């Protein structure tokens, strides 16, 4: 037997595949198989594998095709969404960058007017007449926003803490 | 209504790569019916693990549906399916030890299912266990599925020229094992 086998192997393999071994084999070919080592091997191996294939096929526990198809659709959809999500994320980052740049530019252009805003804040208690809401306010504090605002913030913070502990106890 | 119509042109970039439109549910059901048993038999006999064959078969079909399959008809689709399954088997074997499939000792691949031995399993099973995993693949594809050397090369990713030699050696070895088994069974009887 050589590496190139026998010239009749193809013919023998086809007949074995069709399930014609040994009864339906021509007598001449049967005689050849009994003498040719390559063809003998082929019949032995091919027959064993064909029988194994049939038996293993009947033993298979097959799942329904529907769930597999839907699972594949879900994966395809997720992959597609993932693909379009990348450019959307890029566009979002670009838009945010532009917005920040515009905001910074605007603030820079308005920097000269900051002093005017501060004086407006200082005049705010007067405009809102806080002294009327808080009659006991010392006259020295009147108009001093730098003292009023921290006091209000501290009160807000303390009330928040009190509410938090009260809800914790409940 | 398919999801592609909801998200139009999502796959427009892949249009050139896709050789064939995705299978519809009914078309897939028919293809599955015709190919699943053969694929399971291949996976079960080559891996010698029916539970693993169940998992890999499902994964093979899911990947098959998700991939751009060839347009040459069912024969090519079936060959492509076997190729996916072969790659999954190879990945499975490589994963636990992070080593080449050729370096993994054969004991690692020995069967873990001893239940329900049928006639052909009793004949072919012991001999298959003594073969290298790659040889099992080649033998099954050639003698159970009837694929040509070129088709086997396409499925396994091996060079077409080396298939003939590898298959010759594998067939010679399993034939010897089957004969020895016959002799041993005869002695036992």
Q: Which chain A residues are within 8 Å of B143, Cβ to Cβ?
A: 45-46, 48-50
Look at residue B113 in the predicted model and tell me its pLDDT: 47
Look at residue B117 in the predicted model and tell me its pLDDT: 46
Is A44 in Cβ contact with B178 (below 8 Å)?
Answer: yes
ipTM above 0.85, yes or no: no
pTM reported for the whole predicted model: 0.64
Structure confidence by residue, pLDDT tens digits, B73-126: 888 999 999 999 999 999 988 876 555 555 555 655 555 444 444 555 566 888
In angstroms, rounded to a whole number, what is the distance separating the alpha carbons of residues B189 and B185? 6
Q: Under an 8 Å CB criterion, which residues of A touch B?
A: 3, 5, 13, 17, 41-42, 44-46, 48-63, 65-66, 68-69, 71-73, 75-77, 79-81, 83-84
Which stretch, A30-34, A161-165, B77-81, B116-120, has highest mean pLDDT?
B77-81
Of B66, B172, B175, the CB nearest to A75: B66
CA atoms within 13 A of residue A132's CA, in its CB half-sphere? 5
| Assigned token pair, B52 | 């693993």
Return the HEC string of chain B: CCHHHHCCCCCHHHCCCCCCCCCCHHHHHHHHHHHHHHHHHHHHHHHCCHHHHHHHHHHHHHHHHHCCCCCCCHHHHHHHHHHHHHHHHHHHHHCCCCCCCCCCCHHHHCCCCCCCCCHHHHHHHHHHHCCCHHHHHHHHHHHHCCCCHHHHHHHHCCCHHHHHHHHHHHHHHHHHHHHHHHHHHHHHC
Coil, helix or strand for A144? Answer: coil
Q: Is the pLDDT of residue A33 over 70?
A: yes
What share of chain B has pLDDT > 90, as a percent? 44
Of B4, B41, B54, the CB nearest to A57: B41
Look at residue B9 in the predicted model and tell me its pLDDT: 46
Higher pLDDT: A137 or B124? It is B124
Exposed (0-12), middle (13-18) or buried (19+): which is A62, by Cβ within 10 Å? middle
């Amino acid at each position: 037997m050589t590496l190139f086998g026998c010239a009749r192997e193809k013919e023998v393999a086809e007949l074995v595949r069709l399930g014609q071994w040994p009864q339906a084999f021509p007598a001449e070919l049967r005689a050849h198989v009994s003498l040719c080592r390559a063809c003998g091997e082929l019949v032995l191996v091919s027959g064993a594998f064909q029988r194994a294939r049939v038996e293993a096929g009947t033993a298979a526990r097959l799942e329904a095709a529907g769930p597999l198809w839907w699972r594949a659709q879900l994966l395809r959809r997720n992959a597609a969404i993932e693909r379009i999500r990348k450019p959307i994320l890029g566009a979002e980052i670009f838009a945010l960058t532009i917005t920040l740049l515009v905001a910074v530019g605007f603030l820079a252009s308005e920097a000269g007017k900051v002093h005017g805003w501060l004086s407006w804040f200082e005049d705010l208690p007067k405009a809102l007449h806080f002294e009327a809401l808080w009659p006991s306010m010392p006259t020295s504090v009147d108009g001093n926003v730098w003292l009023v605002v921290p006091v209000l913030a501290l009160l807000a913070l303390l009330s928040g803490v009190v509410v938090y502990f009260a809800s914790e106890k409940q | 209504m398919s999801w592609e119509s909801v998200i139009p042109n999502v796959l427009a970039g892949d249009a050139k790569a896709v050789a064939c439109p995705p299978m519809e549910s009914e078309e897939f059901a028919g293809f599955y019916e015709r190919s699943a048993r053969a694929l399971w038999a291949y996976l079960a006999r080559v891996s010698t693990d029916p539970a693993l064959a169940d998992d890999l078969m499902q994964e093979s079909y899911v990947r098959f549906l998700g991939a751009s399959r060839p347009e040459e008809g069912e024969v090519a689709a079936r060959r492509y399916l076997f190729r996916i399954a072969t790659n999954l088997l190879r990945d499975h074997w490589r994963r636990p030890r992070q080593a080449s499939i050729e370096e993994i000792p054969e004991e690692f691949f020995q069967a873990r299912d001893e239940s329900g031995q049928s006639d052909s399993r009793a004949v072919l099973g012991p001999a298959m266990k003594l073969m290298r995993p790659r040889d099992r693949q080649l033998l099954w594809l050639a003698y159970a599925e009837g694929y040509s050397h070129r088709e086997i090369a396409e499925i396994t990713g091996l060079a077409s020229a080396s298939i003939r030699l590898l298959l010759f050696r594998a067939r010679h070895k399993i034939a010897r094992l089957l004969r020895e088994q016959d002799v041993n069974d005869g002695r036992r009887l």
